[in-house]
């Protein structure tokens, strides 16, 4: 296994990659979207390679059959890949967590339920959180330090309007009330206040400043519960909660100008307002009625349209890992990742030392099988290596402008399976995206499926053969076509193209779950 020493790198930083030791000399290669960038000679017995300085972008790194990827960005949040931690018991070993984040290139870690109380974040040296989980503040600090050294930004969880029983007498005057006059609540242990109440806002901002000073968080995950949308406050004021969220984001940004701020748009509420506020990520936690792959695609697309220069992250919890056989859950996850990655978004899924999220209460996570972690490593390697065409601003979906007999510009054809431009069961879902590095065709294999739910059981994904790419020529030279498959490697492999009048055609390799076809004029 190849393992970079950081999840992401700044320009000018030394890039080190751990290697399996061998008794013979070898050559490590670095590629960018299929183009060779560097070759590093590895002497016999060496267990580490130092890469040459690389310009900003994503790179595939290969040593024989082993692969990884590295990313160089001045602003690593621009292509944020989000993970989680949720256990802070005394004397916890933090190194395995950092190793997992390095392997999956997770550039930020949500510190879920680290705090003493929802309305009083920083507590004593050791305590039980509101749901009785043991927390050592020293462990929180050591985890933050360890992850920061591994190139991952530690992000503290903070609910923007939740108050527990112990603190409620102090804040009940700011309560948001139901129609029956009782305060809105979460389960039976939190009550909800107006996040923009002046007293609460001053307290909340001060609490975040204190957490920054004590723990060293790089920023905060600002959580809400998706309700209420409108409510009367205890003093009689009528509150538009979306407007209160915006006021809170503005206040936190003013108080913490350098912090990474991630606000949770639960079920896309109220992304139309919060995406325009001074935060760093457009983050959504999807629930019903966002049930299908097409719904995830729509969320990702809207996030990128509302804030084109900001990364989009979806907390699409794969309960399939808790309910279904591992191989089935992995195929469910493959189709979710293919949908999100091809639409310029990423998924909050993996974290801890090798776990995946199956529940909104992150403490109830699932220990991933080794095959799942291997699969995620392959997919995340390609996500990083292809970041220049997947996650960079400026990409535009041109599917309906170039495909079909009337347009006849770029398309994929098959005599055996239907090709569709939307997520349709039983078909290959084909999308064409214009990027700064060429046109990209995404092929997602739904041919073996009877539905397109993103968390429901799936049939084994069959390979699809006989797919033909057809591209209109734009000059005398033939375009170069390269193909990548996350279940193979993070590298792009060239395929032969043949002139066919005003077009070129190319036979594509077998399609498994997701294939990226890059068309460029080299």
The residue-averaged pLDDT of 297-316 equals 97
The pLDDT value recorded for residue 354 is 98
Give the least confident one: 37-41, 140-144, 187-191, 268-272.
Answer: 187-191
Q: Quick check: 7 pLDDT over 90?
A: yes
The residue-averaged pLDDT of 375-398 equals 96
pLDDT bin (cut points 50, 70, 90) of residue 75 is very high
The pLDDT value recorded for residue 119 is 96
pLDDT bin (cut points 50, 70, 90) of residue 27 is very high
Which of these, 442, 333, 342, lies nearest to 391 by C-alpha position? Answer: 342
Of all residues in the chain, the percent with pLDDT exceeding 70 is: 100
Whether cis (ω within 30° of 0) applies to the bond prior to 228 is yes
133 and 36 within one domain: no
Which residue range(s) make up the domain with 441? 396-520
Domain CATH number, residue 166: 3.20.20.80
400 and 382 within one domain: no
pLDDT bin (cut points 50, 70, 90) of residue 167 is very high
The pLDDT value recorded for residue 236 is 96
The pLDDT value recorded for residue 216 is 97
458 and 383 within one domain: no
Domain CATH number, residue 474: 2.60.40.1180
Q: Quick check: 127 pLDDT over 80?
A: yes
pLDDT bin (cut points 50, 70, 90) of residue 392 is confident
Q: Quick check: 70 pLDDT over 80?
A: yes
Domain CATH number, residue 45: 2.60.40.3080
Residue with tokens 């997770």: 106
Cβ(504)–Cβ(473) below 8 Å: yes
493 and 479 within one domain: yes
The residue-averaged pLDDT of 391-420 equals 95
Which of 390, 418, 435 is the last residue before a domain boundary?
Answer: 390
Which of 390, 417, 451 is the last residue before a domain boundary?
Answer: 390
The residue-averaged pLDDT of 436-443 equals 97
- Overall domain count for the chain: 3
CA distance 26 to 64: 8
pLDDT bin (cut points 50, 70, 90) of residue 522 is confident
pLDDT bin (cut points 50, 70, 90) of residue 155 is very high
CA distance 380 to 59: 12
Residue with tokens 């507590």: 123
pLDDT bin (cut points 50, 70, 90) of residue 521 is confident
502 and 427 within one domain: yes
Which of 44, 72, 100 is the last residue before a domain boundary?
Answer: 72
321 and 286 within one domain: yes
CA distance 433 to 518: 10
100 and 64 within one domain: no
pTM above 0.95, yes or no: yes
Tens digit of each residue's pLDDT (9 = 90 or more) over 101-112: 999 999 999 999
Q: Quick check: 117 pLDDT over 80?
A: yes
pLDDT bin (cut points 50, 70, 90) of residue 16 is very high
Q: Residue ranges of the alpha helices (H) in 27-136?
A: 95-103
**Token pair belonging to 6:** 């950081």
Tens digit of each residue's pLDDT (9 = 90 or more) over 454-474: 999 999 999 999 999 999 998
210 and 152 within one domain: yes
456 and 483 within one domain: yes
CA distance 419 to 430: 6
127: exposed, middle or buried (Cβ count in 10 Å: 0-12, 13-18, 19+):
middle
80 and 56 within one domain: no
Q: Quick check: 394 pLDDT over 90?
A: no
Q: Is the dihedral of CA 232, 233, 236, 239 positive or negative?
A: negative
Cβ(483)–Cβ(508) below 8 Å: yes
The pLDDT value recorded for residue 465 is 98
122 and 57 within one domain: no
418 and 350 within one domain: no
């Amino acid at each position: 296994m190849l393992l970079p020493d950081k999840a992401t790198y700044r320009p000018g930083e030394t890039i080190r990659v751990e290697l399996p030791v061998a008794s013979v000399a070898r050559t490590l290669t670095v590629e960018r979207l299929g183009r060779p960038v560097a070759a590093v000679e590895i002497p016999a017995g060496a267990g580490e390679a130092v890469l040459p300085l690389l310009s900003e972008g994503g790179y595939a790194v290969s040593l024989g059959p082993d692969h990884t990827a590295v990313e160089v960005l001045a602003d690593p949040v621009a292509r944020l890949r989000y993970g989680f931690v949720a256990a802070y018991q005394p004397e916890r070993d933090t190194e395995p967590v950092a190793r997992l984040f390095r392997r999956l290139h997770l550039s930020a870690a949500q510190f879920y339920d680290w705090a003493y109380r929802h309305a009083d974040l920083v507590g004593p040296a050791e305590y039980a959180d509101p749901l009785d989980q043991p927390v050592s503040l020293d462990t929180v600090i050591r985890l933050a330090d360890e992850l920061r050294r591994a190139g991952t930004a530690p992000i503290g969880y903070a609910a923007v309007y939740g108050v527990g029983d112990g603190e409620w007498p102090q804040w009940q005057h700011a309560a948001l009330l139901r129609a029956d006059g009782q305060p809105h609540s979460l389960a039976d242990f939190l009550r909800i206040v107006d996040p923009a109440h002046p007293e609460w806002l001053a307290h909340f901002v001060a609490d975040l400043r204190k957490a920054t000073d004590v723990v060293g968080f790089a920023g905060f995950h600002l959580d809400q519960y998706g309700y209420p949308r409108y409510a009367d406050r205890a003093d009689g004021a009528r509150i538009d909660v979306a407007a209160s969220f915006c006021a809170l984001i503005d206040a936190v940004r003013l108080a913490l100008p350098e912090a990474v701020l991630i606000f949770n748009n639960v079920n896309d509420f109220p992304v139309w307002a919060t995406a325009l506020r001074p935060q760093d990520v457009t983050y959504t936690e999807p629930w019903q009625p966002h049930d299908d792959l097409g719904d995830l695609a729509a969320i990702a697309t809207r996030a990128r349209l509302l804030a084109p220069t900001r990364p989009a992250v979806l907390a699409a919890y794969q309960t399939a890992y808790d309910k279904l056989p591992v191989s089935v859950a992995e195929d469910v996850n493959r189709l979710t990742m293919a949908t999100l990655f091809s639409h310029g978004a990423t998924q909050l899924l993996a974290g801890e030392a090798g776990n995946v999220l199956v529940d909104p209460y992150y403490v109830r996570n699932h220990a991933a099988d080794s095959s799942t972690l291997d699969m995620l490593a392959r997919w995340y390697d390609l996500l990083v290596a292809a970041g220049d065409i997947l996650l960079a601003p400026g990409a535009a979906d041109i599917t309906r402008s170039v495909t079909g007999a009337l347009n006849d510009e770029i398309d994929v054809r098959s005599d055996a399976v239907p090709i569709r431009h939307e997520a349709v069961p039983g078909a290959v879902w084909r999308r064409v995206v214009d990027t700064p590095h060429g046109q990209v065709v995404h092929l997602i294999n739904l041919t073996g499926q009877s539905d397109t739910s993103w968390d429901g059981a799936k049939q084994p994904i069959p390979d699809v053969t006989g797919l033909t790419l057809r591209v209109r020529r734009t000059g005398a030279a033939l375009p170069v076509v390269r193909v990548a498959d996350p279940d193979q490697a993070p590298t792009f492999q060239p395929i032969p193209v043949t002139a066919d009048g005003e077009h070129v055609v190319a036979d594509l390799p077998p399609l498994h779950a997701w294939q990226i076809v890059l068309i460029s004029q080299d």
